[in-house]
Structure 1
């Protein structure tokens, strides 16, 4: 399973190339973007139990710091980049959506490989995911609401369906029958990878006609967004004197977004072009996260 997960960037690049050369193969799957993301969220839920959420009582200050950095830094960094790079409106909306999204599930795997605090990573992902029901529409409206109509109420309802419902179902299934599922639970990470890869392919195919003009500014914004998120997510806790293991974990959690959610919301409420930053972020943050995990794993656990 870890080997398949490690090859995710390769699969994402391959399907992106396929989407550019043969877009007609993937465009008909546009309808499947939201259901596929629901599969990913259910898979996340199956790995969780109610105790993962109650864990916030043990380290409330650290959890609050991680979640605050997630929703304060990433939308702000995204918005600043859209201004500095003078991105077209659809791309600007997409970058802000990525910034307003909660932490991505891949952050838990990257944290494990980086010898971080996996329990903290899972708790941060869970908390930001639940808060995203309100925070993602609100932050999107705050940053781009003056430029484009942001249907915050409709987005809130969509996130309830895309995130809260499938995650809750996954937690319910794991709580009641987790012990009986056995090896079946190990299939969900693979299903999640397949779902995200298909989502990336569909978005690239939808944007294929204008990809030559959009690719460079989007890639620049995505790379800077992710790297600035990782850096600030480490520097701020470090400046506050927190343990290096916690700093690693928060950095990964802040820098790695649930870009699949950003893609689904962009397609549903804005445009295919607005979904492109999220699709490219899915590829890039796994590459940068894997590189960072490799570096930290070689340096060992700090004392």
Structure 2
């Protein structure tokens, strides 16, 4: 997977993705956070505290080797992205909240991703296997450059040339998706002999992690009284990670192909899983709404009286 093409193209693909995200963001997307403090606080708590703990527990349960274990923790630390916004839109979530969460998550990722990754490296100690020494200051700067700088450039362009930014928004999204797809396909062709092994190694744990993430992202906000539309947005933000960040950091910053495997497998499985969970949640929400408004199946009291 760590071929020259992938090593060069992955950072480029991530930069285009994050630039496209910046084109869609405005300052109001950040200030909107103050208008939804509960939903934002709960979602960020799930994202930054609950998910790393869940991933850590699953890693121990499955007994993953150190490099894969660090890769799982790196995946857990990665923020949501534009795909989360799309799924939220499809299943009736509060997309504006998604955009705000993505904006805040992208900023915080510059701190949280190196922190959680370094803690994982210190605990699982994969140094002997790949010479990994963690995300030291110079590598943290690389993370900053990969994740945040393209977002800021995109936001600046939207502010200074709004019409151009709006016109470029869709082409950049399409280009980023195609570029990332091309990189992934190239990596799969290069590693075609190992794909089955990768699925056997982390297929089950990434599937379980994705399902737990989506469920926690919806149920925990609901327990805190967050409205259903906002909880759907939280579910997609918490459960649909930007796996491109994890893969790029693993390969281009940490120089470890094996650390990228969990995010690569997750990136394939999360689409059908998010679609399934989103459909189930939206169906449940509609059923509850129908019952509350009396549009659902007729109750016994509403049924016609039998003839006398």
Query: Could you say which TM-score interval applies, normalised by the shorter chain?
Result: 0.7 to 0.9
> Distance in 1 between the 2:191 and 2:81 partners?
23
Residue 232 to residue 181, structure 1, CA distance change in 2 (3 Å): closer
Cα shift at 1:214: 2.8
Q: How many residues align?
A: 280
Residue 72 to residue 89, structure 1, CA distance change in 2 (3 Å): same
Which position in structure 2 is the counterpart of 1:66?
Answer: 43
| Greater Cα offset, 37-46 or 154-163 | 154-163
1:46·1:170 contact (CA, 8 Å) conserved in 2? yes
- Residue deviations 1:187-239 (CA, integer Å, cap 9, x gap): 12211211221332344345444433332121111101110111111221122
Which of residues 68, 71, 93 is equivalent to 2:70?
Answer: 93
TM-score, length of structure 2 as denominator length: 0.84
Cα shift at 1:296: 4.4
1:114·1:292 contact (CA, 8 Å) conserved in 2? no
Backbone CA RMSD of aligned residues: 2.2
2:207·2:269 contact (CA, 8 Å) conserved in 1? yes
- Residue deviations 1:86-117 (CA, integer Å, cap 9, x gap): 11222111111100111122100100111011
> Distance in 2 between the 1:154 and 1:76 partners?
27
Which of residues 240, 249, 263 is equivalent to 1:278?
Answer: 263
> Distance in 2 between the 1:108 and 1:49 partners?
15
| 1:239 and 2:239 correspond | no
| 1:221 and 2:205 correspond | yes
1:130·1:164 contact (CA, 8 Å) conserved in 2? yes
2:158·2:166 contact (CA, 8 Å) conserved in 1? no
2:228·2:285 contact (CA, 8 Å) conserved in 1? no
Cα shift at 1:27: 5.9
- Residue deviations 1:104-142 (CA, integer Å, cap 9, x gap): 221001001110110111111110110000011001112
Cα shift at 1:181: 4.4
Cα shift at 1:77: 1.6
Which position in structure 2 is the counterpart of 1:260?
Answer: 244
> Distance in 1 between the 2:66 and 2:152 partners?
35
Which position in structure 1 is the counterpart of 2:138?
Answer: 154
2:77·2:112 contact (CA, 8 Å) conserved in 1? yes
> Distance in 2 between the 1:82 and 1:179 partners?
47
Residue 278 to residue 202, structure 1, CA distance change in 2 (3 Å): farther
Cα shift at 1:289: 1.7
| Greater Cα offset, 281-290 or 196-205 | 196-205
> Distance in 2 between the 1:123 and 1:30 partners?
31
Unmatched tracts of structure 2, length 5 or more = 127-132, 290-308
> Distance in 2 between the 1:110 and 1:171 partners?
23
> Distance in 2 between the 1:247 and 1:52 partners?
18
Structure whose alpha-carbon radius of gyration is higher: 2
Report 1:1-303 matches (<5 A): 28-146=5-123, 147-148=125-126, 149-205=133-189, 207-268=191-252, 269-298=254-283, 303=289
Which position in structure 2 is the counterpart of 1:3?
Answer: none
TM-score, length of structure 1 as denominator length: 0.85
Cα shift at 1:270: 4.0
> Distance in 2 between the 1:104 and 1:180 partners?
22
> Secondary structure at 1:145's aligned position in 2?
helix
4+ long deviations beyond 6 Å: none
Cα shift at 1:34: 0.8
Residue 241 to residue 155, structure 1, CA distance change in 2 (3 Å): same
